[in-house]
Amino acid sequence: MDAAQVRDRWESEGFVSPLRVFDAETAAAHRHVLEQTEAEHGKLHYLYKMHTVLPSPWEIATNATLLDAVEAILGPNILLYNVCYVIKEAGAETFISWHQDLTYWGLSNDHQVSAWVALSPATEESGCMRMIPGSHTRGRVDHVETEDPANALAFGQSVHGVDESGAQLTPLQPGEASLHHGWTLHASMPNASNDRRIGVNIQYLATDCRQTQHNEDSAILVRGEDSFRHFKVDVPALRSMHPDDLARRAALDARINEIYQTMAVPRP
């Protein structure tokens, strides 16, 4: 898709999928880095700011093809806010309920793009994402906080009563990506396949966006100029899992989780 097609689909549907970011061999190489790192350091699922401790997610998040698509949506000035691995193990019953990302991030506006880059096949069987086309135009909808150990979301935040009749699957092959708006309702089912469903989840912001919960949140400019300077500046990984970098990442991770705790919706 060219820039106009990306922008048109974003505005009408609230998501763009699939986008070919790199080839399957490159995806396999990034998967190998992930799994070798897991063998040495433990599971990396949902650990935030991984681009500050490992070069592979930094390389994925700054891929020129991916940034071109984000620029078509946000414009030329782009911050990289967060990168984390999202992994459903083979046969796992984990699911993600219907929700909107922006309800708990504490951001000042919706000038944001969520990217999901597949390192293994994301299929209907393995629990690829489902989207409600056009739901981003409704803005924020009410969420409730639930308790379900199989729900992978931090607080089980869920939107009830979603009409799923128009839901669209967004299957991806390794090296493909989807982009979705922070108000787009999305969900995913368990992984019934015999392979891990591995994705790299990336959050991009326009430079006019800021954190409303405190002044210590961080990001890094990956394209254009930042005349606002609302965020502290993250340091991209130039080495793999160095103890000093890991300590800094842990502090950044705790800060994000603190924001989520502050923004968490009340229980019914």
* pLDDT of 154 above 80: no
Q: Would you state the structure tokens that stand for residue 244, as one six-digit string?
A: 């000093």
pLDDT for position 155: 67
* pLDDT of 263 above 90: no
Residue 129 has φ and ψ, to the nearest 5°, of: -70, 150
Q: Angle formed by the axes of helices 3-13 and 64-74, to 10°?
A: 60
* 92-111: pLDDT as tens digits: 998 888 899 998 899 999 99
Q: What sign does the CA torsion over 34, 41, 50, 199 have?
A: positive
- 3-class DSSP assignment, residue 248: helix
Find all residues with CB under 8 Å of 4, minimum gap 6, and list them: 72
Contact status, residue 231 vs residue 108, Cβ threshold 8 Å: no
Where are the chain's structural domains? 3-263
Q: How far apart are CA 97 and CA 91, in angstroms?
A: 18
What does DSSP say about strands 15-20 and 186-188: parallel, antiparallel, or unpaired? unpaired
Say what the pTM is: 0.95
Residue with tokens 């994000």: 256
* 65-92: pLDDT as tens digits: 999 999 999 999 999 999 999 999 999 9
Q: How far apart are CA 257 and CA 213, in angstroms?
A: 12
Q: How far apart are CA 144 and CA 155, in angstroms?
A: 9
* pLDDT of 268 above 70: no
What is the residue-averaged pLDDT of the chain? 94
Closest CA to 129 of 15, 209, 221, 228: 15
3-263, what's its fold?
A: Jelly Rolls (2.60.120)
Contact status, residue 213 vs residue 108, Cβ threshold 8 Å: no
Q: Which amino acid is at 143?
A: H
